[in-house]
Homo-oligomer: A and B are copies of this chain.
Amino acid sequence: MANPRTKNDDVKLALGLVGPGLVGKALLDQMRDYLPVLRETRGIDVSVLGIANSRKMLLSDRAIDLSNWQQVFNEATHPSDLVGFRDHLLTCKDPVVPVIVDCSASDHVSDFYKIWMESGVHVVTANKKVNSGPLERYQAVRSLQKDRKVHYFYETTVGAGLPVISTIKGLVDSGDRIASVEGVFSGTLSYLFNNFKAGARFSEIVAEAKASGYTEPDPRDDLSGTDVARKVANLARESGLELELSDIPVRSLVPKELESCETSEEFMRRLPEFDGKMTRLQEEAARAGEVLRYVGSVDVAAGKGSVELRNFPASHPFAQLGGTDNIVLIRTKRYDPQPLVVTGPGAGADVTAGGVFADLVKLCAHFGAPS
């Protein structure tokens, strides 16, 4: 049966997903539900032809059935090989656009972007490691993007699905000058300080957050500020600064004495010893009519990034945060004195997967899908 004419105009994506964890799973679910609509209404035809984690991979010559991928993946036995994974996408016979979506958090996976992009494979990522990792690797990816005309989308690396990266990009692309970017970039640390009010004990709020699933399994991974620093490094580079992660001073909230605790349980048991110190900071802020917030900042003129615990007056947008929301405040030549502010859930599988999915649709626009 001949394809109707419009089918020949379809943009065909051969997609490989690396990292079928929480975000990857949510993305596969969203694609299962919405790809039929995109095919029908927009001529966007996405076939998932591979799924890989750190141990093994599933390769398929036909679009993997997204209502049943988990079972098929469970049965896969092929050891993970991220070069072979790329090669599989490149063997597709149709005129297709090869793209690898990285929903892992792996530094190892990040080392493959260069190899993928050199072969003309486009990359959409939720993984923060390239944009915040070694400048050399980052710049190699940027050069390939330009020289090989491959696309690289990473909206979700700051604020998940919130429009942060694309907003900064639009400003820079139109000749605006970023002056500063600052915000609360961790849902966990947002929650902790939004709830750290008079009478509260910091360690108890950490315990609550852990119980609610708002922290990493070891809360020190949040409290160390490293994840926030990665976002600051990423934003600094978007703003035109060439900063290494190590250039960014980070105020860790893990007491020195507890860094060496062997288990997160031991850490949590001993954390109350340091409540007094945190309470003093909270009270000091309250006396000035202010609140504590854990913020990441990029100051473009000073050429610096930082991650700090700072006081903000009650009228400041950061003081009005709720829940686990992120907030990003962008000042530019044009957005001055009033900044451009984006607020909302900046973590979570669904909104992150949604941001990745939106990046995929943007990628298709580059290959003729209607805007």
User: Which residues of chain A have a CB within 8 Å of any CB of chain B?
Assistant: 30, 33-34, 37-38, 42, 145-146, 149, 151-153, 161-163, 166-167, 170-171, 173-176, 315, 317, 320, 322-325, 334-335, 338-345, 350-351, 354-355, 357-358, 360-362, 365-366, 368, 370-371
User: Are the CB atoms of B145 and A370 closer together than 8 Å?
Assistant: yes
Q: Which of B33, B42, B167 contacts A163 (CB 8 A)?
A: B167
User: Are the CB atoms of B334 and A161 closer together than 8 Å?
Assistant: yes
User: Are the CB atoms of A149 and B370 closer together than 8 Å?
Assistant: yes
A13 CB to closest chain B CB (Å) equals 14
User: Are the CB atoms of A175 and B30 closer together than 8 Å?
Assistant: yes
Q: Which chain B residue lies CB-closest to A173?
A: B361
Known contacts A335-B345, A361-B174, A366-B366; is-contact A163 B163 (Cβ 8 Å): yes
Question: How many Å lie between the Cα of A37 and that of B315 in the bound state?
Answer: 39
User: Are the CB atoms of A344 and B350 closer together than 8 Å?
Assistant: no
Q: Which of B153, B339, B371 contacts A153 (CB 8 A)?
A: B371
Known contacts A163-B166, A174-B358, A354-B176; is-contact A338 B323 (Cβ 8 Å): yes
User: Are the CB atoms of B323 and A320 closer together than 8 Å?
Assistant: no
A131 CB to closest chain B CB (Å) equals 14
User: Are the CB atoms of B358 and A170 closer together than 8 Å?
Assistant: yes
Known contacts A146-B370, A342-B342; is-contact A34 B174 (Cβ 8 Å): yes
Total copies of the chain: 2
Q: Which of chain B's residues have a CB closer than 8 A to the CB of A334?
A: 161, 350-351, 354
The CB with the most chain B CB atoms within 10 A, among A355, A357, A358, A365, is that of: A358
Given A166-B170, A366-B368, 9 additional A-B pairs, CB 8 A: A145-B371, A149-B368, A162-B340, A170-B358, A174-B358, A317-B343, A338-B345, A340-B343, A343-B343
A314 CB to closest chain B CB (Å) equals 10
Q: Which of B149, B167, B344, B371 contacts A151 (CB 8 A)?
A: B371
Q: Which chain B residue lies CB-closest to A361?
A: B173
Question: How many Å lie between the Cα of A334 and that of B355 in the bound state?
Answer: 11
Question: How many Å lie between the Cα of A65 and that of B324 in the bound state?
Answer: 51
Question: How many Å lie between the Cα of A129 and that of B30 in the bound state?
Answer: 34
Question: How many Å lie between the Cα of A166 and that of B365 in the bound state?
Answer: 13
Question: How many Å lie between the Cα of A91 and that of B361 in the bound state?
Answer: 33
A317 CB to closest chain B CB (Å) equals 7
Known contacts A344-B339, A366-B366, A370-B146; is-contact A174 B322 (Cβ 8 Å): no
Which 3 pairs, one residue from A and one from B, show the smallest C-beta to C-beta distance?
Answer: A34-B175, A174-B357, A170-B358
User: Are the CB atoms of B358 and A173 closer together than 8 Å?
Assistant: yes
Q: Which of chain B's residues have a CB closer than 8 A to the CB of A42?
A: 173
User: Are the CB atoms of A338 and B344 closer together than 8 Å?
Assistant: yes
